[in-house]
Amino acid sequence: MKISYSPYTLKPTQNLATISNMSERKGVLLKIEWLDGLTGYSDLHPWSELGDQTWEQQLADMRTGQISQMLEQSIWMARRDAQARQQNKSLFDGLPTVKNNYLITDVRVEKPDILNYLKKEGFETIKIKLGRDLQKEAEFVSGLGLDGAFKLRLDFNALGTWQTYERFMKNLNKVALTRVQYVEDPFPFDEQLWLEAKKFAPLAIDNEFQKVDLNKLKTKPFDVVILKPAKMDVSSTLQACVMHDLKITVTSYMDHPVGVMHALAVACELKKGNPQRVLDAGCLTMPLFQMDSYSAMVVQAGPYLKRADARGVGFSLLFLREPWNQLKTR
């Protein structure tokens, strides 16, 4: 297996989350060539704020035979891309389209007429990242909840406590509470406290999932698993969700358009096989960054993303133009 890489920089157009700032995001595109003649492409986009090693460190470890979970996922996605390219097919061929939630990363800068825009565009689900100003955010969510057209997803990134979470949820009006589809990582995982927190709304587990052994749980403290193909094994996560009767939301990793489209392809594939288990995806993250040649090739139509071209994950011409560097092994 020969690995080549091409570094990139994404420039945010807004605050991405409470765990980050407006600084540029860095990652690498990967080109992987196998001995059977197949070539595929993927993305590696670490978030050090979430404990990921830098891409430089992950590739350096690869030289000595150590493969991180993220890099293993990148190789897996590149292989899927390579197999589709060999067959002259798209990763999306024969799959249903999947709606995405609209993402609000900072309520302080959101447009006043946002609800009218979202209705016009056909969105059904809104995700709001919380933690900058809980009072203002509670007022904003309560306002959204008065409009029965939308399901709400609230994301605390496990930054709060049971006390701050309880206070926030009690500040929401009752109508808004009925519109909450789920709350992601309300505070660091604790089985009993999460079980108690479910009295306000269903819970979803995202970054806290790595702390959980599902087979050791005595109760069902969450209802939804956030599946990020960029860093989570898809097959084993799906199997666990089926076994424990959990819903799934597939999301991108706020990464490069190549990573976004890989995540969306996984969402469409899982939706086909598990239509009742797989919820609206969370892959509309490209607008968070300045447009580049890759994002310009992906067409957004309301809550849907359209594939870039008809082979593999797309972007074929752009991959040919990348200044690839071959990863040297010892």
Residue 19 has pLDDT above 70, yes or no: no
Query: CA dist 70 to 75, 76, 234, 325, Å?
Result: 9, 10, 12, 20
pLDDT digits (tens, 9 = 90+) for 233-289: 999 999 999 999 999 999 999 999 999 999 999 999 999 999 999 999 999 999 999
Pairwise CA distance, residues 191 & 219, whole Å: 8
pLDDT band at 149 (very low <50, low <70, confident <90, very high): confident
By annotation, the residues acting in catalysis are: 129, 228
| Structural tokens at position 56 | 């430089």
> What is the amino acid identity at position 289?
F
pLDDT digits (tens, 9 = 90+) for 171-212: 999 999 999 999 999 999 999 999 999 999 999 999 999 889
DSSP 3-state of 144: helix
pTM of the predicted structure, to 2 decimals: 0.94
Instruction: Determine contact, residues 154/183, Cβ cutoff 8 Å.
Output: yes
CATH C-level class of 102-306? alpha beta
Higher pLDDT, 146 or 150: 150
Phi, psi of 4 (to 5 degrees): -120, 155
Residue 145 has pLDDT above 80, yes or no: no
Distance between terminal CA atoms of the chain? 14
Domain definitions of the chain by residue range: 2-88+315-326, 102-306
Give the containing element (helix H, strand E) for 300. Answer: strand 299-301
Phi, psi of 305 (to 5 degrees): -115, 135
Pairwise CA distance, residues 166 & 194, whole Å: 11
Give residue 291's pLDDT.
94
pLDDT band at 16 (very low <50, low <70, confident <90, very high): confident
As a whole number, the mean pLDDT across the chain is 93
Residue 65 has pLDDT above 60, yes or no: yes
Superfamily of domain 2-88+315-326: Enolase-like, N-terminal domain (3.30.390.10)
Per cent of the chain over pLDDT 70 is 98
Give residue 15's pLDDT.
73
DSSP letter assigned to residue 278: B
Same topology between domain 2-88+315-326 and domain 102-306:
no
Per cent of the chain over pLDDT 90 is 81
Q: Are strands 304-306 and 325-326 parallel, antiparallel or unpaired?
A: unpaired
Give the containing element (helix H, strand E) for 2. Answer: strand 2-10
CA 16, 20, 25, 28 torsion-angle sign = negative
Nearest residue to 117 (alpha-carbon basis) of 147, 82, 161: 147
